[in-house]
């Protein structure tokens, strides 16, 4: 169920919304093969009606199952937007869609959650990547240089342009 609020409830006083939003309602699954939401999004929001807009402020929290792009190790990361804010205009060209006096916050939350996903998920900043699976055979100290595997760049060095 999307996160809706009724504009009429804001006419007299600010509105406080707290709870959880199912991941299926956010539609963020499958956006990145290295990141998947783990559980619902928790929100704690304060809504305030301005003259021709609604100001939404609060916090958003979502647990992510990530896969390190260097070592492919799975790990969990908490995504927190502590001081999240959203300005929803009620008039003009960019006004929000109002259906039966209700506004859906879900698309605005989704957009900011996706933008906050880690761009390059790492299990830790010092991750060294995958272990070298195929070790080179050890060379004897007297082995000639010609035994060494040529570099991929060696063929390019031979080109005469």
Q: How many CB atoms lie within 10 A of CB 37?
A: 20
pLDDT digits (tens, 9 = 90+) for 38-83: 989 999 999 999 989 999 999 999 999 999 998 999 999 999 999 9
- The closest alpha carbon to 129, from 120, 137, 138, belongs to 120
pLDDT digits (tens, 9 = 90+) for 112-160: 999 999 988 999 888 888 764 344 455 555 555 555 566 767 777 777 7
Residues 6+ apart with CB under 8 A from 16: 45, 46, 47
Pairing verdict, β 41-49 and 102-104: unpaired
| pLDDT for position 114 | 92
| pLDDT for position 112 | 93
């Amino acid at each position: 169920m999307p996160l809706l609020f009724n504009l009429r409830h804001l006419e007299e006083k600010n509105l406080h919304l707290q709870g959880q939003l199912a991941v299926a309602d956010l539609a963020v699954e499958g956006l990145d093969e290295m990141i998947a939401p783990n559980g619902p999004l928790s929100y704690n929001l304060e809504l305030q009606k301005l003259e021709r807009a609604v100001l939404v402020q609060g916090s958003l929290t979502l647990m992510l199952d990530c896969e390190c792009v260097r070592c492919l190790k799975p790990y969990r990361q908490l995504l927190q937007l502590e001081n999240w804010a959203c300005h929803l205009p009620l008039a003009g060209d960019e006004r929000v869609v109002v259906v039966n006096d209700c506004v859906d916050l879900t698309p605005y939350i989704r957009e900011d959650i996706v933008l906050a996903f880690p761009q390059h998920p790492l299990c830790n900043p010092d991750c060294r990547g995958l272990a070298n699976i195929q070790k080179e055979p050890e060379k004897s100290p007297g082995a000639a240089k010609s035994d060494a595997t040529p570099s991929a760049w060696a063929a390019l060095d031979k080109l005469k342009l």
